[in-house]
Amino acid sequence: MESLNHQTDGLEVIEEEGLREVLAIDRQAQSILRDAESEAQGIVTGAQQRASELKATAESEARTQAEEALAKASAEIEREAEALRSQAQHDAEEWRDAARARFDRALMYVVRLVTLTETEKE
């Protein structure tokens, strides 16, 4: 009987040691899980920050490109407007020169008409 009690005591010791090992493994597993969750949260936070940085950079580059395109388009419009103003000035000068060249003839024509009209009235 004593041997049976001794065997039972030995089994209880083995069971207690096994239980302690299981509890130690459980604590380790929980510690590993907490570390993994913390690391995962750090990765997510880092990814969110990097995404925000990339978004800000992309917005800045897009804004810069849009401003450059606007400046280029504005410069092109100004060049075209200047060309149109120059052509209009040139055309106006040609019309003025042509009118001056014909002014004497037109004046003579009007004078003749008036003179003829005056002559016919008499």
Taking the C-alpha atoms of residue 101 and residue 70, their distance in angstroms, rounded to an integer, is 46
Sign of the dihedral through C-alpha 94, 95, 96, 100? positive
Per-position pLDDT tens, the chain of length 122:
555 555 666 667 778 888 899 999 999 999 999 999 999 999 999 999 999 999 999 999 999 999 999 999 999 999 999 999 999 999 999 999 998 888 888 888 888 888 876 666 65
Q: What is the pLDDT of residue 74?
A: 97
- How deeply is 97 buried, as exposed, middle or buried, from its count of CB atoms within 10 A (0-12, 13-18, 19+)? exposed
Taking the C-alpha atoms of residue 95 and residue 103, their distance in angstroms, rounded to an integer, is 12
